[in-house]
Amino acid sequence: MSRKIVVGFDGSEASRRALDFAVKRAKLQGDNILIAHILEWSPYSFLTPSEIEERHRRRKEELERAESAIITPVIKAIEAEGVPVTAMMKYGHIAETICKISESEKAELIIIGRMGTSGLSSRIFGSVAGTLAQIAPVPVTIVP
């Protein structure tokens, strides 16, 4: 039975490296890939009345843009290499949402890239890779 690998993907250089790494593995071992695209979102942020009015429309636009600009091109490229691939787009806290997806989709591995920030900002704000390493329910591979 083939394993499912969740790859955190936001279109950045780092996430492309992670995806390339994942595709190579999947090809060798016959795994399939689930691309997780998370849009950072907190239900506890503050909005103005007009932002609230437009929120539903904006959300639709954001999802459509993410699908056409980020997800569809990579799915085509991966399918061309013969690796089975699906994609998911979710709003939420990036690391927590990736964990939830891994659980609900019964994935066996998470692969993510790292931004390579070090020092003060990641000490204060934390990093996705660091958080995942702490809280992930399945093994995590961090691609430098």
List residues near another protein by CB under 8 A: 39, 41, 43-57, 59-60, 62-63, 90-92, 100
Closest to another protein by CB, 6 vs 143, is 6
Cα angle 142, 14, 131; round to 5:
45
- Residue 97's alpha-carbon distances to 25, 39, 42, in angstroms, are 23, 10, 12
Q: What are phi and psi of 10, to 5 degrees?
A: -125, 10
- Least distance from C-beta 114 to another protein, angstroms? 24
Closest to another protein by CB, 27 vs 59, is 59
Please tell me the distance from the alpha carbon of residue 108 to that of residue 139, in angstroms, as a whole number.
7
- Least distance from C-beta 99 to another protein, angstroms? 12
**The two three-digit tokens of residue 31, written as one number:** 């795994």
Closest to another protein by CB, 18 vs 102, is 102
- Least distance from C-beta 64 to another protein, angstroms? 11
Quick one: the chain helix, strand, coil %, rounded to 5? Answer: 50, 20, 25
Closest to another protein by CB, 39 vs 133, is 39
- Least distance from C-beta 144 to another protein, angstroms? 30
